């Protein structure tokens, strides 16, 4: 069955709409806390630190950007895994930035009035409206940077979504009803093709999560259980790298065949030729 991804400029509002939509439709609300707990347990990580990956830039994360990318890949893997289940409503795991081209997943962005966001921020931090405004501007800028660094995307671009609803005049209840009405359209019915697209994305994320530590620069694509891994390497290292990647990936559940493609590492090649 279909699923819904909700993104919002206000995490609190996004969560509320996602939760209410799930209740309205009888779908499962994919609580980000549960997903993060599962990742933390599986990977033996500190959950609070893991959570920070979702709103902190690598520069202020306190660990290397390599670790930041790894942990992000783990979250992605877990989220996509949950989206394989039926009738999910997902929010707060940045799924709108990495779940692409799956026709049975409806993507909605909820926009909250600036006033409401300011009020939430001021009451959460017990600060004045002026200070809240300054902090909010900084947070918006940081969020924009985060999206670019994590997925090279602008999340405010409306063309990323099926629907954008502003809560300036439309109430939350009405927005929920609209989303619930849209998901019933036949076009959001899962089909062999859309299920395959989601399976490919999920497998891709699992493979990526399992090789990212050893091959952080590798790009992974999955199609029909065939995995293509592209890595930068020197000519003389190709054989060794192919064997290592095939060993890592070949055993992953759902993988039938592994192809390793190489891109010449011109920088390392040039550096070595000057030695």
Partner 1 sequence: MPEKLKVLVLDDEPIVGKRLKPALSKIGCEVEVFEEPKSALTRIEEKEFDIVVTDIRMDEIDGMEVLDYVAKRWPRTKVVMITGYAMMALAREAMEKGAFDFIAKPFKPDDLRRVIAKAAKALGRPIDFDTDSK
Partner 2 sequence: MAIITISRGSYSKGKEVAEKVAERLHYDCISRDVILDTSDHFNIPEVKLIRAIHDAPTLLDRFGHDKRSYIAYFQSALTERVKRDNVVYHGLAGHLLLKGVPHVLKVRIISDFSERVKAEMEREGCHESDARKLILKDDQERRKWTRSLFGADPWDSSLYDLVVHIHKLTVEDAVDFISQAACRDAFKTTDASMKQMEDLALACRIKAELVDEFFDIYVSSDYGNVVVYAKDKDRSTQKLRNRVKTLGEKIRGIHHIEVHGGIPVPANAV
Binder of residue 257, out of partner 1, partner 2, none (CB less than 5 to 8 A by kind): none
Q: Helices 172-183 and 11-25 sit at what angle, rounded to 10 degrees?
A: 50
Instruction: Build a one-symbol-per-residue string for 167-196: x at contacts with partner 1 by CB under 8 A, - elsewhere.
Output: ------------------xxxxx-xxxxxx
Contact 106, 162 (CB under 8 A): yes
Instruction: Build a one-symbol-per-residue string for 54-93: x at contacts with partner 1 by CB under 8 A, - elsewhere.
Output: ----------------------------------------
Pick the binder of partner 2 from 42, 124, 185, 266 (CB under 8 A). 185
If binding is defined by CB under 8 A, does position 194 make contact with partner 2? Answer: no
For residue 240, the tally of other CB atoms under 10 A from its CB is 10
Two tokens, residue 123: 């009451």
If binding is defined by CB under 8 A, does position 148 make contact with partner 1? Answer: no
What kind and span of H or E run contains 150? helix 129-151
Of the candidates 23, 21, 26, the residue with the CA atom closest to the CA atom of residue 8: 21
Two tokens, residue 113: 């009035």
Between 95 and 111, whose beta carbon lies closer to partner 2?
Answer: 111
Two tokens, residue 230: 């592209």
Two tokens, residue 237: 């290292």
User: Binding residues for partner 2, how many (CB under 8 A)?
Assistant: 23
If binding is defined by CB under 8 A, does position 101 make contact with partner 1? Answer: yes
Between 193 and 257, whose beta carbon lies closer to partner 1?
Answer: 193
How far apart, in whole angstroms, are the C-alpha atoms of residue 54 and residue 147? 10
Between 159 and 273, whose beta carbon lies closer to partner 2?
Answer: 159
If binding is defined by CB under 8 A, does position 102 make contact with partner 1? Answer: yes
Contact 86, 26 (CB under 8 A): no
Contact 73, 204 (CB under 8 A): no
What kind and span of H or E run contains 71? helix 65-83
Between 119 and 193, whose beta carbon lies closer to partner 1?
Answer: 193
Between 137 and 185, whose beta carbon lies closer to partner 1?
Answer: 185
CB-facing half-sphere around the CA of 172: CA atoms within 13 A:
17
Q: How far is the CB of 197 from partner 1 (least distance, A)?
A: 8
3-state SS assignment for residue 222: strand
Q: How far is the CB of 194 from partner 2 (least distance, A)?
A: 13
Contact 249, 229 (CB under 8 A): yes
Instruction: Build a one-symbol-per-residue string for 153-182: x at contacts with partner 2 by CB under 8 A, - elsewhere.
Output: ---x-xx-xxxxxx-xxxx--x---x--xx
If binding is defined by CB under 8 A, does position 103 make contact with partner 1? Answer: yes
Binder of residue 60, out of partner 2, partner 1, none (CB less than 5 to 8 A by kind): none
The secondary structure of the chain in percent helix, strand, coil, rounded to multiples of 5, reads 55, 15, 25
Summarize as ranges the residues that interact with partner 1 (CB under 8 A). Answer: 101-103, 185-189, 191-197
Summarize as ranges the residues that interact with partner 2 (CB under 8 A). Answer: 9, 109, 111, 114, 156, 158-159, 161-166, 168-171, 174, 178, 181-182, 185, 187
């Amino acid at each position: 069955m279909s699923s819904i991804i909700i993104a919002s400029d206000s995490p609190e509002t996004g969560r509320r709409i996602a939760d209410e939509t799930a209740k309205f439709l009888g779908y499962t609300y994919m609580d980000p806390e549960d997903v993060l707990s599962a990742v933390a347990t599986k990977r033996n990580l500190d959950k609070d630190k893991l959570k920070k990956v979702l709103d902190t830039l690598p520069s202020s994360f306190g660990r290397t950007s390599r670790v930041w990318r790894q942990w992000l890949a783990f979250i992605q893997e877990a989220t996509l895994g949950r989206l394989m289940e039926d009738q999910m409503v997902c929010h707060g795991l940045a799924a709108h930035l990495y779940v692409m081209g799956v026709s049975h997943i409806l993507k909605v962005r909820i926009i909250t009035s600036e006033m409401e966001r300011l009020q939430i921020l001021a009451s959460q931090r017990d600060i004045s409206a002026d200070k809240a405004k300054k902090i909010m501007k900084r947070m918006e800028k940081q969020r924009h940077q985060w999206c670019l660094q994590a997925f090279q995307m602008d999340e405010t671009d409306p063309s990323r979504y099926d629907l954008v609803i502003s809560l300036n005049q439309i109430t939350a209840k009405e927005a929920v009803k609209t989303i619930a009405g849209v998901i019933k359209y036949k076009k959001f019915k899962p089909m062999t093709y859309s299920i395959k697209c989601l399976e490919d994305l999920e497998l891709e994320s699992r493979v990526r999560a399992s090789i990212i530590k050893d091959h952080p620069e590798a790009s992974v694509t999955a199609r029909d259980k065939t995995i293509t891994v592209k890595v930068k390497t020197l000519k003389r290292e190709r054989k060794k790298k192919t064997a290592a990647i095939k060993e890592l990936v070949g055993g992953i559940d759902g993988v039938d065949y592994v192809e390793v493609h190489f891109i010449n590492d011109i920088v390392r090649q040039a550096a070595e030729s000057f030695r």
